[in-house]
Every structure is written in structure tokens, then in C-alpha cells.
Structure 1
Amino acid sequence: MNDIYQRLHVADEAQDNAEIIATLAAIKAGRLKNDLRLLNFYREVPVSYAAEVLTVEEHDAELLVNQIQAVVIAHEKLTVIKSSHFRRDVAATVTYVNVEKSRVVLSNLSYALVRADRRMSVRVQLGSAIDATFAAPELDEVHGRLHDMSLTGMSINVARDPHLTLTQKGELSIALPSGSITVAASLLKVFTLDSGFRLVFEIEPSRAAELSISQYIFQRQVEIIKELKDHPGVSG
């Protein structure tokens, strides 16, 4: 989740933690209005529901959360707390999750910058294997599998480092279930994986390609939310 947020210090670690705990205690006591919401990302789709403070200790707090949020938190072991009463958003480590009872215990509370809030468009991870090819003049084609996509960017996983230079421009072709599309693409980043590499591209889709991408993203969001709702720990 490090690509979702970055922890930061407003004062120092201990003082920030004490301030966050005091705010949660004030919400629990009713001195402050409860406007808490938790934020997580599941397969790149944001999951955000309201939460209620149950208990507050010196360094941690127990919250009553939505069951779907609890499922994602159990997977991530991290969450972001949003409230108008905090100076900044708050990042928290999850030390206990009970999906059935919708309860979580949060510790290691610190202020954070939520990088995902700055995304220009909704992104989703893929549910099935989708072939992708990057082609540019005078370069060998790079073949891989699509990892995630949005209206402004895509990333593909490849077995070997193609040794492309950053800002390399070309065309990215992907085989969506509704049909293949090709978009203008520029290489932004390269990440090393346990088995291969991930190439991140900025894209400029045509109107037709944009429509195909939008339809697929919406379909994936529906599938991902259904997957969460169908989790064995979530009551019907």
C-alpha cells in the first residue's frame, strides 16, 4: 500500500500519534461529531465506508466498521482514516480484524499524504489475462500481460527488461474482451518484480478506445464489488 499513501510528520511521531488518539477519544466521547471514514483500495478500486470509535487506548483504537471494509482491511492490514477533525489524513496499521463482528484495532497512527487521491482517473486491476504489446519504430515489440488500466495510463508485466528509455513513445495494443484497441503510449516508469518487470505507460486514447476502456473499467468495478460482497465473512 506504499503506492497509496506516504506517512509524514506534522510535529513529531509521538506528538502526532497523541494528537490523533486525542481526536479519536473526543469523537468517542461525543465532544466532536463522528465523521470518520476509512479508505482502502481493493484491486485498485477505492473502498470507503463510515466507521465508529468503540474504544481508545494510549496507542491504539478499536473501530466498528462496514463488513466489506473489514474484508479489505483483513487483506491489506492497513487503512487510511479520513475526518475533518484531523490535520491530515491518517494512516494506520491494523493489528486485529474480525470480519464477522465488523471490528478492527488500529495502531501506529500517523498523518499521511494519500497519493491515490491525486489520481486523474479511476484505475482497476485486471481479472483475467489480457495480452498487451508495445510497439515503437526501430524497436522490437514488447509482449506482456496487462496489469492495470485507467483512462490515462496502463501498466503491463513482462518477463524480461526490454531496456526501453523513459519517455519512449509508441503504441500499446491490448486485447480487451470487447475487442482489441491500440492507443498512443509513453513510458513513465519501470518497476522490478519478483518475476519480471512492470512497465507503466501514460496513454492518449482515441474517443473509440476511451469508450472501450470506460466500459471495461465499469464492468471490472462491478465484478470487484460483487467479489467483496460475496466474501464468506460478509452477512447477506
Structure 2
Amino acid sequence: MNDIYQRLHLASEAQDQAEIIATLSAIKAGKLKNDLRLLNFYREVPVSYGAEVLTVEEHDAELAVNQIQAVVIAHEKLTVLKSSHFHRDVAAAVTYVNVEKSRVVVSNLSYALVRADRRMSVRVQLGSAIDASFAAPELDALHGRLHDMSLTGMSINVAREPNLPLSQAGELTIALPSGSITVAASLLKVIHTGDTFRMVFEIEPSRAAELIISQYIFQRQVEIIKELKDHPGVTL
């Protein structure tokens, strides 16, 4: 199980992989149109470019990819293959990456449900420390740092276990660079991340807050894409 995808078995693990490998072989041979694309997420921003099948072996395949995609793959060591010829999206481990040559080798291929495809809105991770707090009636405010945000949800990292019931309603206050905003929020889940606890909220922003959040998300997306393009291995 993974934040990006959940592996699925349509037949057996071996049969599914054989079927995926056969499809990649047919694409390489020109028997099927090459509509292969790879999907990754970098700081929650989707990165998706076309790919070419170079070689296919019994359990793996070498692909020519976009350099920016290769940078993200080198960081994550996994990718998702998308094609109309697959029965479902395909999750793959990446055993080799060469950013300069734009080459990757994928293996451990299986069908998958891509969780991020089901999100209702674009999400971004934060690049700088942004203070956040959650307050509810008759409760002490919880202070932490914003981890990620979208128009429908936010998560914050707090130092101690919140000990709040799921669906606890309250207000999130976020100190964005353009000014603080407060939105109605409901607790969806709490994740123990090791040193901190991540509180994940569903939010209901006002029209004014929604505009501020949209502007910040767009600005953050631009920063993230620039970060990838400025990677020393990218020569595009």
C-alpha cells in the first residue's frame, strides 16, 4: 500500500505481470500505438510525460523518458505507467535511472489503483515553514506547521498526539505569505509520522479564502516545476 497507488491483482500476480510485459512488447514492436505515459508526484504536483519502450525482458523493461520525469523517478524509485492498452494503470518499481541519458528500467509490474487520480483538487506541499493552528470550542488550540494544502483539504504537523475524535469540527488558521486565513475544518484522520503527528482535515473555505488558497497553490506549482527544471542533470 502506498500514498500514490494501491496494487491490484486482476488475475494472479504472475499472469498480470506477463500480460503487462506482453503489452509493452507489442508497443515496442509497433503492433500497438505508443500512447504510453508515466505519472509521478513531486511535492504533490503531478508530473506526466510520454515514454518510449526501448527493450523488454521477461520481468522488466527499459524506457526512454523525459528528463524531468527521470529526476522525479530518481527521487521516488517508482512510477505509474498509463496506456489505453492496459486493463488498468500499472505500478512499477524502478531499478535503474539515468537522468542525463533519460533512461529508466522498470520492474515488479502490477495493475494499480492510482489514489491521487481520485483527489477532488490539486494539492501541493509547502516549500517554507508556514504556521498553522486548529481551534475548536472548549479545546486548547493545537499549533503546528502546514504540510500540504488544496482547495478541499489541508494537513498540519503537530508535536503531540491531538487525542481528538474523527470528524471534530473547528477552524484552521494558516499564516500564508499574503496574510492569515481561517477556514472551517473537520478532522479526517491523524497519521503518526515518527517525530510528529499529521492531522488531515477537510476544509470549507469562504470565497475570499478560496481565492487566496488558489493563488498560493498556483505560485507553489510554478516554484516546484522550476525546481525540477533547474536540477543539474536536466539539459533540456
TM over 0.5: yes
Deviation per residue, 1:74-94 (Å, 9 max, x gap):
000000000000000000000
- Is 1:142 paired with 2:164? no
1:108-147 matches, cutoff 5 A: 108-147=108-147
Deviation per residue, 1:57-76 (Å, 9 max, x gap):
00000000000000000000
Partner of 1:30: 30
Partner of 2:15: 15
Distance, in Å, in 2 between the alignment partners of 1:95 and 1:47 is 19
2:224 aligns to what SS in structure 1? helix
1:162-177 matches, cutoff 5 A: 162-177=162-177
Unaligned runs of 5+ in 2: none
Partner of 2:87: 87
Shift of 1:168: 0.3
Deviation per residue, 1:155-196 (Å, 9 max, x gap):
000000121110000000000000000000000000001101
1:128 aligns to what SS in structure 2? coil
- Is 1:69 paired with 2:72? no
Partner AA of 1:121 in structure 2: S
Q: List structure 1 runs of 4+ shifted beyond 6 angstroms.
A: none
Partner of 1:97: 97
Partner of 1:203: 203
RMSD over aligned Cα, in angstroms? Answer: 0.7
Distance, in Å, in 2 between the alignment partners of 1:61 and 1:174 is 45
- Paired positions, count: 236
Distance, in Å, in 1 between the alignment partners of 2:202 and 2:76 is 27
Identity of aligned residues (%): 87
Distance, in Å, in 2 between the alignment partners of 1:56 and 1:187 is 46
Distance, in Å, in 2 between the alignment partners of 1:16 and 1:163 is 43
Report the TM-score, using the length of structure 1 for normalisation.
0.99
Unaligned runs of 5+ in 1: none
Partner of 1:219: 219
Shift of 1:118: 0.4
Partner of 2:40: 40
Distance, in Å, in 2 between the alignment partners of 1:7 and 1:61 is 19
Distance, in Å, in 2 between the alignment partners of 1:103 and 1:41 is 18
Deviation per residue, 1:14-65 (Å, 9 max, x gap):
0000000000000000000000000000000000000000000000000000
Deviation per residue, 1:117-146 (Å, 9 max, x gap):
000000000000000010000000000000
Partner of 1:187: 187
Partner of 1:151: 151
2:171 aligns to what SS in structure 1? strand
Partner AA of 1:212 in structure 2: I
